[in-house]
Amino acid sequence: MNAIMTPDELEAALRAVGTARYHDKHPFQILLQEGRLNRDQVAAWALNRYYYQSRIPLKDAALLARLEDPALRRSWRQRIVDHDGEREGDGGIERWLRLTDSFGFDRAEVMAGRGILPATKFAVDAYVRFVSDKTLLEAIASSLTEMFSPGIIATRVSGMLAHYDFVSKETLAYFDKRLTQAPRDADFALDYVKREARRPDQQQAVIAALNFKCDVLWAQLDALYFAYVQPGLPAPGAWTP
């Protein structure tokens, strides 16, 4: 039987999940930010992560479809705007495509998910499904990895710009916007969770949802490491440099 936590104790427990499980400690992430990957390995990361990026607005739309309060919907829909933009050529997904463009990938192929690792698809699809199937509280809590993202973004971007001549501020522009968007989104979700998760079972469910989401991010980097670093064996059908 878990004891009830105050909202601040719950926040502390959620931050502890990040310390234990966030993918900033994954060996692929360390190699990426320290300049120890080659161009093909970074390309594989960009290609696979496009699939994750492309599913985020679908995930957010599934969540939006479950929010009965217009005020909550107004807040949450901004996430979809951020990713899809206000017009053609705008938004986070377009900015990510500029990164895959820079590695020479064909846009139509990238957008069709051609060449991504099976594990990328399984992990990302599990996330979209989680947000559709679980309680609204758990669905919102699963977005809380954004609490930890400003740190990893700053380290990743500065490390990549320092070490790789095949990326630039322009091709990494996706991350600029996320430095302001993610904290705004995380604050909103954290306030919601601290306010709504009052019973011990709800609080434990919220922590489990954040654990789950950390697993989704971690498993994507596992797959990249296995396929493109060591032993360096992409699944049959996946992109091979």
Binding of a second copy by 34 (CB under 8 A): no
Q: Which of 5, 80, 119, 167 binds a second copy (CB under 8 A)?
A: 119
Count interface residues toward a second copy (CB under 8 A).
29
Binding of a second copy by 70 (CB under 8 A): no
Binding of a second copy by 14 (CB under 8 A): no
Given the complex with a second copy, which of 161 and 212 has the nearer CB atom? 212
Distance from C-alpha of 79 to C-alpha of 182, rounded to nearest angstrom: 9
Binding of a second copy by 125 (CB under 8 A): yes
Given the complex with a second copy, which of 145 and 171 has the nearer CB atom? 145
Distances (CA, A) of 91 to 76, 159, 222: 16, 24, 28
Q: Which of 7, 113, 115, 118 binds a second copy (CB under 8 A)?
A: 118
Contact 40, 227 (CB under 8 A): no
The H-assigned helical ranges of 34-135 are 39-64, 70-84, 92-102, 107-111, 118-133
Residue 20 token pair: 């234990």
Binding of a second copy by 214 (CB under 8 A): yes
Distance from C-alpha of 27 to C-alpha of 77, rounded to nearest angstrom: 34
Contact 59, 131 (CB under 8 A): yes
Identify which range of 78-86, 97-105, 119-127, 157-165 contacts a second copy by CB under 8 A: 119-127
Distance from C-alpha of 80 to C-alpha of 113, rounded to nearest angstrom: 20
Residue 185 token pair: 């989104």
Contact 24, 152 (CB under 8 A): yes
Identify which range of 19-27, 51-59, 87-95, 136-144 contacts a second copy by CB under 8 A: 19-27
Given the complex with a second copy, which of 161 and 229 has the nearer CB atom? 229
The residues of the shown chain that bind a second copy, judged by CB under 8 A, are: 20-21, 27, 117-119, 121-123, 125-126, 129, 211, 214-216, 218-219, 222-223, 225-227, 230-231, 233, 235-237
